[in-house]
Amino acid sequence: MQIFIDSADVKELKAVAETGLVDGVTTNPSLVAKAGGDFFETLRQICAAVPGPVSAEVVAQDTETMLAEGRKLRTVADNIVVKVPLTPAGLRACKTLEQEGHPCNVTLCFSAAQALLAAKAGATFISPFLGRLDDNGQDGMGLIREIRAIYDNYDFQTQILAASIRTANHVRDAAIAGADCATIPPAVFRSLYKHVLTDTGLDAFLKDWKATGQTIL
């Protein structure tokens, strides 16, 4: 499963990218507002720091303006992916942009029927929002399983990008359910390393090694 980081904070993204485990980045207008700074400059810096796909979202509501925004976003760097909302206008923009060779990430997906339409529009990525469904009393992970089954039934190539991830268990369960990628907030990414038995086990090994009085180098 590819690991994307869900953030527009350049400093934080650079730090996480240094792990060598990051395959891409997703941003959205709320994350851009939270990070502050010039949108295009931020995108340039993120695209330089992370070689994989970097999703940047359009904000227009009509197809023509979405197309203009999407084409402009794609001039920032080759690894920009145009993020469009799962609306009729967004899917029309997706179809045209994909036909022009601009990869799209269809965002704000909350049902399997929506994901089917995004695949029909030729989207490179579909972003089902797990956490927001769970927050709403629905089964976010069940949606990933449904989309996986539909895409496998018809051999759709659209990649399932599990989004709105809240916990390490979300990451694990999305991987088990067959998501192609997960976009993870930096704090949740850091939590993936953690296990108390790793920490206590390492402490014991180092203590026992010290008692031998030897060195490796």
Catalytically active residues, by annotation: 83
Asked if residue 183 binds ligand E4P (CB under 6 A), the reply is yes
Looking from the CA of 24 toward its CB, the CA atoms found within 13 Å total 24
Closest CB 163 distance from ligand E4P, rounded Å: 3
Residue among 122 and 140 whose Cβ is closer to ligand E4P:
140
Asked if residue 7 binds ligand E4P (CB under 6 A), the reply is no
Sequence-ordered alpha helix ranges (H) in the chain: 10-17, 29-35, 39-49, 63-74, 88-99, 112-120, 130-135, 140-154, 168-176, 186-191, 196-212
Which residue of 79, 107, 114, 159 would you call a contact of ligand E4P, by CB under 6 A? 107
Separation of alpha carbons 87 and 33, rounded Å:
23
Asked if residue 163 binds ligand E4P (CB under 6 A), the reply is yes
150 contacts 115 by C-beta, under 8 angstroms: yes
Site size with ligand E4P, rule: CB under 6 A: 11
Asked if residue 29 binds ligand E4P (CB under 6 A), the reply is no
Contact segment (CB under 6 A) with ligand E4P among 43-51, 60-68, 126-134, 198-206 equals 126-134
Separation of alpha carbons 88 and 63, rounded Å:
9
Tokens standing for 153? 């039934």
Binding site for ligand E4P (CB under 6 A): 6, 26, 28, 107, 127, 129, 131-132, 163-164, 183
